[in-house]
Chains A and B, each alone.
Chain A
């Protein structure tokens, strides 16, 4: 790896990812930091490459962070969450039912058919399913596997789950809180036509994961530049709007506890970060 260039990995869940990281790359270059990026088709290979030392940093989904943290010890390295978006903090997921239906309490869902996003979506599958299980509610699951390997970054699974709810082929749909609002505003869900039956506790989403093998000086400079980025800068504002943030915040580990538990409950990864989820092949 070129030691004087910081190499960042990102997953190409949408064509806009190229625009975002080209923009950041140019901005960092203007601020005397050599940064380049590598795009991956899925988070698992990105984590593999991070731990193998092929990239210094990874723009990780929460699930990719959980795996990286578990696998790091096996790889003889340590990872830490360097930064996250302000919008990565304190998200919740919701269990949505039809407002004209009979379901009033989470317990009413026992035995019902629940639509989820892709099997690797933290927000539309793992976290809300684990929350229902924590509440003692045993449900049947119909997954909408759109963009498997993207850890739920592709919203298609959530939208398909919502459409199934509207069509009456499922009893409930699981999704991110912001997705529910968006689907109402775009008309997929008619305003007032759904009821939120349950909401998970807050959790954190993506973070910029860095390994201890990354060169300290450039990483520190990278972190300083990130925290100095302002939404008032028109060049950055376009990128922030595309990436969905107003400011970068320091990364924190505390927001992933629920996802760790969900990963264990469903056997998604083992303690070493090995993929153990049946049928998951991104």
Chain B
């Protein structure tokens, strides 16, 4: 049988020649021969070293013309042995139910050499983390990213009374601390979810990036005309801490996205509607769009999970009750925040305007409650139970 042939020209193994060798040897079976010739002066030496390390046998001819190297490589089986027992990490387009730990460091669908680490991702159950809508939501999220530097009219002139500006600063201060928690909660779960559920990771990563931007724009609005932020109540922070403390993915997602961020969508819409200046209006409406997406994912994957495991609702209910019990003796919403919302909705300091602002905030609270009940019903809670659970939600909104 004629040997396969490879002419390296003057290309040496110190300049990429091994690529041509690998390609030519890849077409052969172990034991088959490749005749190699080349003019690189170091080729005879380098071929010897390379073949030894790659597990091939080599025979360099003494009879080659001056300045040329003629050699025969007998292909070894090292490359074949490496890929014996290799399996694919599932299929690219199909999400597995319980991906093995060994797939954790690989792309879904990649051909995996046997061996390697088996990292433990405790969130490795499709029923627990997956939502069929995740790929579309991620695509939507990626397409709707906005640049804080250009998406907000930071330079647009406006004039505000001092106490209205104070109300805006207070609301922004409150929003920042809430967004920080909304960043922390998914970030803490990101490292626990099996990367096989790639789209969920991507979606949560964008969610974290969304919150990072929200923190930036709310802080920037607060400090646009002031040197200091507003107040942060201890009770507000206790309420937020109960979210960060929750280590169960389903429960945390339920409390944060379905109840908390869902409520926040209404709050952001309210602030955008009553915003006294274009910057406040813009930052709250941009954040509201993002939060809607976060809520959609939370509701979608919990609805899917609840359909498969009816007892999930018992656990969700217990989580709301537990949080209520932990917070029942707390003041709830920072009084400064409540007052600031009234001022924004009033738009003026006349008794009539304040009454109207106060009523609007009460109306907002009813609207938040209706939204929560709607989402709870979407998860399969009966209407009366949904109403009961919604009423137990933290008075701190998030």
Asked if A and B bind, the verdict is: yes
Binding site for B on A (CB under 8 A): 86-87, 89-92, 94, 176-178, 180-181, 184-185, 189, 191-192, 194-196, 199, 230-232, 234-235, 237-238, 244, 246-247
Picked from A178, A184, A196, the residue with its CB within 8 Å of the CB of B52 is A178
B contact residues around A177 at 8 Å (CB) = 45-46, 48-49
> Are B81 and A230 in contact, CB atoms less than 8 angstroms apart?
yes
* B78 located at the interface, meaning its Cβ lies under 8 Å from any Cβ of chain A in the complex: yes
Q: How far is the CA of A146 from the CA of B46 in the complex (A)?
A: 25
Among A177, A180, A181, A232, residue most surrounded by chain B Cβ atoms (within 10 Å): A181
Query: Taking CB as reference atom, which chain B residue is nearest A231?
Result: B81
Q: Evaluate whether A87 and B52 lie within 8 angstroms (CB atoms) in the complex, with A180-B46, A232-B85 already known.
A: yes
> Are B48 and A195 in contact, CB atoms less than 8 angstroms apart?
no
B interface, over-half SS: loop
Q: How far is the CA of A237 from the CA of B80 in the complex (A)?
A: 12
- Residue pairs across A and B with Cβ atoms less than 8 A apart, 14 shown, are A92-B45, A92-B48, A177-B45, A177-B48, A178-B53, A180-B49, A189-B14, A191-B15, A196-B42, A231-B55, A232-B82, A234-B85, A234-B115, A246-B78
Q: Evaluate whether A181 and B115 lie within 8 angstroms (CB atoms) in the complex, with A87-B53, A92-B48 already known.
A: no
* B113 located at the interface, meaning its Cβ lies under 8 Å from any Cβ of chain A in the complex: yes
Q: How far is the CA of A275 from the CA of B360 in the complex (A)?
A: 96
> Are B49 and A235 in contact, CB atoms less than 8 angstroms apart?
no
Picked from B14, B41, B44, B50, the residue with its CB within 8 Å of the CB of A195 is B41
B contact residues around A195 at 8 Å (CB) = 41-42
Query: Taking CB as reference atom, which chain B residue is nearest A183?
Result: B14
* B351 located at the interface, meaning its Cβ lies under 8 Å from any Cβ of chain A in the complex: no
Q: How far is the CA of A90 from the CA of B49 in the complex (A)?
A: 9
> Are A181 and B14 in contact, CB atoms less than 8 angstroms apart?
yes
Query: Taking CB as reference atom, which chain B residue is nearest A94?
Result: B45
Q: How far is the CA of A89 from the CA of B52 in the complex (A)?
A: 8
Q: How far is the CB of B265 from chain A (nearest CB, A)?
A: 50
> Are B84 and A232 in contact, CB atoms less than 8 angstroms apart?
yes
* B278 located at the interface, meaning its Cβ lies under 8 Å from any Cβ of chain A in the complex: no
Q: Evaluate whether A196 and B45 lie within 8 angstroms (CB atoms) in the complex, with A230-B81, A232-B81 already known.
A: yes
A contact residues around B44 at 8 Å (CB) = 199
Q: Evaluate whether A180 and B42 lie within 8 angstroms (CB atoms) in the complex, with A91-B52, A234-B114, A234-B116 already known.
A: yes
Among B42, B55, B114, residue most surrounded by chain A Cβ atoms (within 10 Å): B42
A contact residues around B50 at 8 Å (CB) = 181
Q: Evaluate whether A237 and B82 lie within 8 angstroms (CB atoms) in the complex, with A90-B52, A181-B13 already known.
A: yes
Q: Evaluate whether A181 and B46 lie within 8 angstroms (CB atoms) in the complex, with A231-B78, A244-B53, A246-B55 already known.
A: yes
Q: Evaluate whether A191 and B49 lie within 8 angstroms (CB atoms) in the complex, with A231-B78, A246-B78 already known.
A: no
Q: How far is the CA of A178 from the CA of B55 in the complex (A)?
A: 14
> Are B14 and A191 in contact, CB atoms less than 8 angstroms apart?
yes
Q: Evaluate whether A192 and B52 lie within 8 angstroms (CB atoms) in the complex, with A177-B46, A180-B45, A232-B84 already known.
A: no
Among A195, A199, A237, residue most surrounded by chain B Cβ atoms (within 10 Å): A237
Picked from A87, A184, A238, the residue with its CB within 8 Å of the CB of B115 is A238
Q: How far is the CA of A89 from the CA of B55 in the complex (A)?
A: 11
Q: How far is the CA of A28 from the CA of B1 in the complex (A)?
A: 43
Query: Taking CB as reference atom, which chain A residue is nearest B12?
Result: A191
Q: How far is the CA of A92 from the CA of B51 in the complex (A)?
A: 13
Q: How far is the CB of B303 from chain A (nearest CB, A)?
A: 41
> Are A231 and B82 in contact, CB atoms less than 8 angstroms apart?
yes
Query: Which B residues, 103 to 119, have Cβ-Cβ distances below 8 Å to chain A?
Result: 113-116
> Are B78 and A196 in contact, CB atoms less than 8 angstroms apart?
no
A contact residues around B262 at 8 Å (CB) = none
A contact residues around B46 at 8 Å (CB) = 177, 180-181
* B99 located at the interface, meaning its Cβ lies under 8 Å from any Cβ of chain A in the complex: no
The interface bits of chain B over 146-175 (1 if a CB of A lies within 8 angstroms of the residue's CB, else 0) are 000000000000000000000000000000
> Are A237 and B49 in contact, CB atoms less than 8 angstroms apart?
no
Picked from A192, A231, A237, A247, the residue with its CB within 8 Å of the CB of B12 is A192
B contact residues around A86 at 8 Å (CB) = 52, 55
Q: How far is the CA of A196 from the CA of B44 in the complex (A)?
A: 10
A contact residues around B53 at 8 Å (CB) = 87, 178, 244
> Are B41 and A196 in contact, CB atoms less than 8 angstroms apart?
yes
The interface bits of chain B over 33-58 (1 if a CB of A lies within 8 angstroms of the residue's CB, else 0) are 00000000110111011101101000
Q: How far is the CB of B8 from chain A (nearest CB, A)?
A: 13
A contact residues around B114 at 8 Å (CB) = 234
> Are B115 and A237 in contact, CB atoms less than 8 angstroms apart?
yes
Q: How far is the CA of A260 from the CA of B85 in the complex (A)?
A: 44
B contact residues around A244 at 8 Å (CB) = 53
> Are B81 and A199 in contact, CB atoms less than 8 angstroms apart?
no
* B76 located at the interface, meaning its Cβ lies under 8 Å from any Cβ of chain A in the complex: yes
Q: How far is the CA of A3 from the CA of B134 in the complex (A)?
A: 62
Query: Which B residues, 76 to 111, have Cβ-Cβ distances below 8 Å to chain A?
Result: 76-78, 81-82, 84-85
Q: How far is the CA of A232 from the CA of B84 in the complex (A)?
A: 6
Q: How far is the CA of A177 from the CA of B114 in the complex (A)?
A: 32
Among A180, A199, A231, residue most surrounded by chain B Cβ atoms (within 10 Å): A231
Q: How far is the CA of A247 from the CA of B96 in the complex (A)?
A: 37
B contact residues around A180 at 8 Å (CB) = 42, 45-46, 49
Q: How far is the CB of A128 from chain B (nearest CB, A)?
A: 12
Query: Taking CB as reference atom, which chain B residue is nearest A184?
Result: B14
> Are A192 and B48 in contact, CB atoms less than 8 angstroms apart?
no
